[in-house]
Structure 1
Amino acid sequence: MRPLPRQRLLNAALATAFGTAFSLCSVSALAQATGQQQRAGDSTLPAITVNADTEESATGRVNGYLAKRSTAGSKTDTPIVETPQSISVITADRMDAIGATTVKDALGYTPGVSIAPFGADSRYDWISIRGFDGYAPGFYLDGLPLRNNGTWGVWKTENYGSERIEVLRGPTSVLYGMASPGGVVNIASKLPTAEPVREIQLQYGNDARRQVAGDFSGALDAEGKVLYRITGVVRDAQLPGGSSRDDRTYIAPSITWKPSSDTTFTLLAQYQKNRAGAYSRIRPAAGSLTPTRIGTYIPSDLNVGDPNFDHFNQDQKMIGYQLEHRFNDTFTVRQKLRHGKLEVDYRALQSPGFVPMDPANALSAENYRYLNRGVFGSQESTSSVTMDNQLQADLRSGDWHHKVLVGLDYQRTRIDQYTYSSPFGTPLLDIYAPVYGGTIDIPQPYVNGVSRLAQTGIYLQDQIKWGDRWSLTIGGRYDTAQSTNYSRLDGSTQRISEHKFTKRAGLVYLAPNGLAPYLSYSESFAPIGALDPATRTPFKPESGRQYEAGIRYQPPGGKSLYSAAIFDLRRKNYITYDATFMPKQTGEISVRGLELEATTELMPRLNLTASYAYTPRAIVTASSRAEEIGKQAMSVPRNRLSVWADYRFSNGLKVGAGVRFNGSTRGDAEVVAPAKVPSYTLLDAMIGYDIDRWTLALNLRNLTNKTYVANCAYGYCYLGTQRTAVATATYRW
């Protein structure tokens, strides 16, 4: 599709949406006002226990660990047991209990999710879902994409500003457009509430972590038609080793106007400023996974970068709104829009390798003492506009109920990028007596230009219920995507247009005893944005498809949800490179597995969350390089298990403990053979006390400070996160 017709389509959609809104004589949006914890008046604070069973919204606050509704799997307010695809919801209470300060921390007890594909990394929340990258093309915030282009300018989120984190596993393009075949992560922001929220939180932890946070919400008028919320964080911290700072400032104000019971409008914004070093634990495989030829290892606490050179500074701003109006019992319209701006200044020394100082003597200790490191840097400026327009129709005829959703979404991203890299030009690092600083040569850029991506999607979904027992979801979507890449290095411009139709279907049976077996099929796509050098025509979008069968069990009236799913997932048409390094669209990866998950209250005040993933197959089944076939593209252990339990005594004391097991692998592309990346088991713990208006907690992750290799790839290995300890004091009134 050419830019002119696309722009006309977009303009027509905007005019229709805004015209409808203003014809209502009010601007309105979905307030997502949720059942909140009672913040004052009772010295025992019963509303902050995890035993409450209230959930008024599929996007808002959940008291406790069990969410029963979600929009992630349908873009409508739908019970999770009626969604024919795997969903996990990590509530704010659960994040607090396990001491999760980042998104990947929060997902550490979620089936099918690896939170350490690159080990400890201060820069990003890298994760993989069902064996595929879950961080590109980006997370979602309130159902709108935080799009990245596979570069280093990646949007960050703040856990303290989140009500819940949702993971929808498997292809999701019918709902979300371009996406990874493994699934998507959606983060729901804290939004204004009618019930007062008044909270101050103090944190102190290792690595000189000092943080102050606040959350305030309530009504601005006597009738409760205007609500506000403001959430903020100020953090002064250091990265492990105490050599670089890790500071953050975050503020997220929002206001909701509810002129009537049928209409709401929420205006929301956020600003985040990060000033930090660039900390990772990358090592050569020889000296980390296996000993060097002389039997030595690189010290695990060594900073292989340079704190005098490395930094990762990021500023991001967002502003947008959410609009909802219900015309009658049949028709509801919704619109979401957000504009964002992101600036990143990143540079670091990386890719360390031993320098042979005595090449004539292979067993000389000097050959395994000094590291050379490459220099890398990127300055990026990203601006984006995302929008989603929806019309929902609830139609009834006898025992049949149709919830029809028609939508048009649009996203536009512009990235101005200046990136350089060189394997040379840095001082050698003595691993036993490191000295930092010195002259570092900055190379010329290998990328200096502007890339633009615009995508428009039209989708249709029908959720059909027959009586109280059967639920059928069917949907389809058509996307057009246009990418433009301009290079300042040679003055060239490349323009590519792509389009793709995706579909989805799923059937659920809702038994009276709480059992809900289901079957589903779903698809995904991702534009490649490159030309085939042989034909000078655009590559087709890569695609994904999944068959899934599962069963959920939600005992009537209980506080438990159990789920089991088996799936067959394929990524197709991705680019591989032959022996002459020519790109070929021949790649295919097959993943099959079983996932189990439980969230339950075993007895009053005793809560348990558990997950298990069994993945016997995650291999390349087609490639232009024969040696890749039969190997894993990304490392996926055959077995992954996690369990968290906590108990709250009647006197206010609370204790919790967790275990996370990750099975052995052979690393990405299995290039570390014959040595395996060994399995590892990590322990977490929590102890706390609730007294009057105070909630106190001490969380320890990797309790025993275990040193472990999280993954390896192409001659390098990544050590996992060391022990963290964070003490939190929260005061509510």
Structure 2
Amino acid sequence: MRTLPLPRQRLLNASLAAAFGTVITFWGLSASAQTDAQPTPANASTGAALPSVTVTPDAEENGHVNGYLARRSTAGSKTDTPIIETPQSLSVITADRFQAIGATRLRDALGYTPGVNIAPFGSDSRYDWIAVRGFDAYSPGFYEDGLPLRNANSFSVWKTENYGAERIEVLRGPASVLYGLSSPGGVVNVVSKLPTATPIRELQLQVGTNNHRQVAGDFSGALDADGKVLYRLTGVLRDAQLPAGKMADDRTYLAPSLTWKITNDTTLTLYAQVMRNRAGVYTRNRPWAGSLVPSAIGTFIPAKLFQGNPYFDHFNQDQELFGYNFEHRFNDTVTFRQSARAGRLKVDYRGLQAPSFATVNPDDEFDPVNFQNLSRSLFGSRESVRAFAMDNQAQVDVRSGDWKHKILVGVDYQHNNFETNSYSGGTAPDLNIANPYYFNGPFEIPDPYEMNATRLTQTGVYLQDQIKWRDTLQLTLGGRYDTAKSSVFSRLDGTSTTVSDHKFTGRAGLVYLAPNGWAPYLSYSESFQPTGVVDPVTNEPFKPESGRQYEVGLRYQPPGTKNSFSAAIFDLRRKNYISYDTEFQPKQTGEISVRGLELEATTQPTDRMNLTASYSYTPRAIVTSSARPEEIGKQANAVARNQLSAWGDYRFTNGIKVGLGVRYTGPTRGNGGGSPIKVPGVTLLDAMVGYDFEHWSLALNVRNLTNKTYIANCDTPSQSCYYGDQRKVLATATYRW
């Protein structure tokens, strides 16, 4: 414990608007969530002495961090652990950080994070498609507050709201010991805003491109004089349009929560999230002939062409989540925690897809009339989800001499029911490239190709021991046994398929904690994911695919600073995935190898400046085994050899703040590695300018500052390419009192 001085009020004048100490006073927070917090000098303007307050170093209230640097996280261990002691790559993007860069979507918030591709399918209004270390993070889904937002490789994907988040955590590499079935690339966990004892009163207004208009509010505090009952209410109301077709992009989000401190050792938090999305469909996919390379007659399709149809396309999604977090500390040794959540989701989606050139003269493939129109088909799906998840944890903290043990025993369970009714094909009017006209039909909707009822269940039992010796060496050992079952009933033909899987996964990591802030580590981790596919030869289900990773890393947090640096070298393999031979028969022979280096830095050179930077070098991301020999040696998912990003912002004493970011992604051969030429690399700029005064904070953010037109990726099987996001301008006014 130590004492830090504070100012008398949040802002004395505009010249102190950006000063850190004034923010402390307004919120009534401890001086910093970091151990390196420095005393704030007496008021520079008046010379008045400042009152003091006692604070606890490293305090973080319900996941909130002041500034860009988080020092603790539960994502890498399911226990409250310093990040420097976590033997695996972990990035935490705080709310202050993703608000500064103007990120309104989860994928945008991860744009400055190493190892993450935020646009594997270019600009897409439907979901936050991302890839981590070369592997799709879309399936089996993100996590929120440590519980899964599961999907079943359909369009029933839970959405998250950045304004409702305190932080976004990315644990890179296999993590099944903690989370059960998961992608080998890693886990993304969103930490929600929950009640705080510190009063919060905030209103926010936004206007921007595409008729974006939004109002949001965040309120929290105590309901009683003793501070035993806390509340929080966060909400968003958005009225906007997509970048083309004058289609809606509207959202209503409401997240109430209540915390009851039953005793000093027992806490219960109840929460809910309700989201309504009413939108069209905006994607920017094109044939690669006419986008990446010229068409057969040397022409290109205009990048701004909207290939959908505003009369037909829509994407409406309703979702509700209801849950609780319970914690009871029996004594200084044993703590029990239980988290549970139930949810419902409905999706009504339809849109035009897969444009290709409409052949008018089949006798002459080079006839210019064959490259004047785009032919499109229809896709639609009505889906619903009922989901339940629970995680039970018993933590035992034991100390004997120089040894400390933090033992975690857990049992988690999830149950998900999916209903899908999907169609693909049909016909729609051709679209003239030079003179597009969006007819209201005729649209001939085909019969459904899928009407399935899918049930997914999983039960996992896990054990972890974090063993520390003399606060110098920490060994983390973990193991988990999962039982997973999937049942699919086809309402089209009455058939039913059930697949049961059992899998043990392990994890081990060692960290050396030097007193000067250096922390080298090494680790091994595993993942698994059921295939849900039956071997046509044996009529037995294929065993789960697996992932394994070796990682060697180094972290450095100089004492007395707000700086953090990390480096990691990894060897990651996805094994036993299903590939299909030339007869389209499944074989469990697939393997993908990814090796790379990742660097990340979060620094505060001065009290008014923040800098973040990341670099990913991935020289190997290839298929090493497949039922199709032509796939071997190529990339399954596009991974750039070099990816670099950096963001810096500065707050002047007069309240003005400025920020600039750069994001570079190197060239690739696209998904499948078969694009006719390399997809060019791209450098994008983001910028921010703002002004803080009294109770106001104003900011103007521009993403893709130069409005660069670029292709984000291409896909070999469909021979299509995806254009990236256009420029987005967003003005935000936030009032706090």
Instruction: Report the TM-score when normalising by structure 2.
Output: 0.93
Equivalent position of 1:392 in the other structure:
395
Q: Does 1:348 align with 2:351?
A: yes
What secondary structure, in the 3-state scheme, does the structure 2 residue paired with 1:481 have?
strand
Task: State whether residues 385 and 418 of structure 2, in contact with CA within 8 Å, keep that contact through their aligned partners in structure 1.
Answer: yes
Deviation at 1:618, TM superposition (A): 0.2
Cα distance in 1 for partners of 2:348, 2:493 equals 24
Deviation at 1:360, TM superposition (A): 3.5
Task: State whether residues 164 and 192 of structure 2, in contact with CA within 8 Å, keep that contact through their aligned partners in structure 1.
Answer: yes
Cα distance in 1 for partners of 2:9, 2:494 equals 63
What secondary structure, in the 3-state scheme, does the structure 2 residue paired with 1:543 have?
strand
Encode CA deviations 1:481-511: one digit per residue, 9 max, x unaligned: 1111000111011111110000000000001
Cα distance in 1 for partners of 2:251, 2:460 equals 35
**1:644-663 aligned within 5 A:** 644-663=647-666
Q: Does 1:548 align with 2:517?
A: no
Equivalent position of 1:209 in the other structure:
212
Equivalent position of 2:685 in the other structure:
683
Deviation at 1:579, TM superposition (A): 1.0
Q: Does 1:313 align with 2:316?
A: yes
Q: Does 1:177 align with 2:180?
A: yes
Deviation at 1:324, TM superposition (A): 0.5
Equivalent position of 2:27 in the other structure:
none
Deviation at 1:560, TM superposition (A): 0.6
Counterpart of 2:400 in structure 1: which amino acid? S
Encode CA deviations 1:19-47: one digit per residue, 9 max, x unaligned: xxxxxxxxxxxxxxxxxx99975345545
Which of 682, 701, 704 pairs up with 1:702? 704
Equivalent position of 2:457 in the other structure:
454
Task: State whether residues 599 and 616 of structure 2, in contact with CA within 8 Å, keep that contact through their aligned partners in structure 1.
Answer: yes
Which of 712, 715, 723 pairs up with 2:727? 723
Counterpart of 1:42 in structure 2: which amino acid? L
Deviation at 1:364, TM superposition (A): 2.8
What secondary structure, in the 3-state scheme, does the structure 2 residue paired with 1:96 have?
helix
Deviation at 1:96, TM superposition (A): 0.8
Counterpart of 2:423 in structure 1: which amino acid? Y
Equivalent position of 2:284 in the other structure:
281
Which of 355, 369, 382 pairs up with 2:372? 369
Deviation at 1:379, TM superposition (A): 0.4
Equivalent position of 1:253 in the other structure:
256
Which of 500, 518, 526 pairs up with 1:515? 518
Structure-2 change in CA distance of 1:646 and 1:357 (3 Å): same
What secondary structure, in the 3-state scheme, does the structure 1 residue paired with 2:653 have?
coil
Q: Does 1:296 align with 2:278?
A: no
Encode CA deviations 1:190-228: one digit per residue, 9 max, x unaligned: 000111100000000000000000000000000000000
**1:243-642 aligned within 5 A:** 243-422=246-425, 424-436=426-438, 437-642=440-645
Aligned residues: 695
Encode CA deviations 1:644-695: one digit per residue, 9 max, x unaligned: 000000110000000000000000011213x110000000000000010000
Counterpart of 2:721 in structure 1: which amino acid? C
Q: Does 1:42 align with 2:31?
A: no
Structure-2 change in CA distance of 1:340 and 1:529 (3 Å): same
Task: State whether residues 601 and 607 of structure 1, in contact with CA within 8 Å, keep that contact through their aligned partners in structure 2.
Answer: yes
Cα distance in 2 for partners of 1:563, 1:307 equals 47
Task: State whether residues 618 and 641 of structure 2, in contact with CA within 8 Å, keep that contact through their aligned partners in structure 1.
Answer: yes
Task: State whether residues 619 and 629 of structure 1, in contact with CA within 8 Å, keep that contact through their aligned partners in structure 2.
Answer: yes
Equivalent position of 1:15 in the other structure:
none
Equivalent position of 1:158 in the other structure:
161
Counterpart of 2:722 in structure 1: which amino acid? Y
Flag structure 2 segments of 5+ consecutive residues without an equivalent: 1-5, 25-30, 35-57
Equivalent position of 2:88 in the other structure:
85
Structure-2 change in CA distance of 1:38 and 1:197 (3 Å): farther
Equivalent position of 2:713 in the other structure:
711
Cα distance in 1 for partners of 2:239, 2:652 equals 34
Cα distance in 1 for partners of 2:323, 2:442 equals 45
Counterpart of 1:491 in structure 2: which amino acid? G
What secondary structure, in the 3-state scheme, does the structure 2 residue paired with 1:445 have?
coil
Deviation at 1:241, TM superposition (A): 2.3
Equivalent position of 2:54 in the other structure:
none
Counterpart of 2:480 in structure 1: which amino acid? R
Deviation at 1:358, TM superposition (A): 2.8
Encode CA deviations 1:676-732: one digit per residue, 9 max, x unaligned: 100000000000000100000000000000000000002000000000000000000
Cα distance in 2 for partners of 1:562, 1:645 equals 16
Structure-2 change in CA distance of 1:360 and 1:38 (3 Å): farther
Deviation at 1:359, TM superposition (A): 3.2
What secondary structure, in the 3-state scheme, does the structure 2 residue paired with 1:682 have?
strand
Equivalent position of 2:28 in the other structure:
none
Equivalent position of 1:18 in the other structure:
none
Deviation at 1:407, TM superposition (A): 0.1
Task: State whether residues 236 and 247 of structure 1, in contact with CA within 8 Å, keep that contact through their aligned partners in structure 2.
Answer: yes
What secondary structure, in the 3-state scheme, does the structure 2 residue paired with 1:613 have?
strand
What secondary structure, in the 3-state scheme, does the structure 1 residue paired with 2:599 have?
strand
Equivalent position of 1:191 in the other structure:
194
Task: State whether residues 707 and 722 of structure 1, in contact with CA within 8 Å, keep that contact through their aligned partners in structure 2.
Answer: yes
Counterpart of 2:606 in structure 1: which amino acid? M
Encode CA deviations 1:118-152: one digit per residue, 9 max, x unaligned: 00000000000000001210000000000000100
Cα distance in 2 for partners of 1:603, 1:503 equals 42
Cα distance in 1 for partners of 2:23, 2:161 equals 23
Deviation at 1:168, TM superposition (A): 0.0
Counterpart of 1:334 in structure 2: which amino acid? R
Alignment root-mean-square deviation, CA: 1.4
Cα distance in 2 for partners of 1:294, 1:495 equals 51
Counterpart of 2:353 in structure 1: which amino acid? Q
Counterpart of 1:694 in structure 2: which amino acid? W
Task: State whether residues 551 and 565 of structure 1, in contact with CA within 8 Å, keep that contact through their aligned partners in structure 2.
Answer: yes
Deviation at 1:449, TM superposition (A): 1.7
What secondary structure, in the 3-state scheme, does the structure 2 residue paired with 1:671 have?
coil
Select between 291-300 and 643-652 the one with higher mean Cα deviation.
Answer: 291-300
Counterpart of 1:426 in structure 2: which amino acid? A
Equivalent position of 2:124 in the other structure:
121
Deviation at 1:59, TM superposition (A): 5.1
Counterpart of 1:143 in structure 2: which amino acid? G
Cα distance in 2 for partners of 1:465, 1:89 equals 24
Deviation at 1:374, TM superposition (A): 1.2
Task: State whether residues 49 and 64 of structure 1, in contact with CA within 8 Å, keep that contact through their aligned partners in structure 2.
Answer: no
Task: State whether residues 62 and 194 of structure 2, in contact with CA within 8 Å, keep that contact through their aligned partners in structure 1.
Answer: no
Deviation at 1:295, TM superposition (A): 1.8
Cα distance in 1 for partners of 2:673, 2:363 equals 31
**1:98-113 aligned within 5 A:** 98-113=101-116
What secondary structure, in the 3-state scheme, does the structure 2 residue paired with 1:612 have?
strand
Task: State whether residues 10 and 694 of structure 2, in contact with CA within 8 Å, keep that contact through their aligned partners in structure 1.
Answer: no
What secondary structure, in the 3-state scheme, does the structure 1 residue paired with 2:194 have?
coil
Equivalent position of 2:38 in the other structure:
none
Cα distance in 1 for partners of 2:657, 2:33 equals 19
Deviation at 1:361, TM superposition (A): 3.6
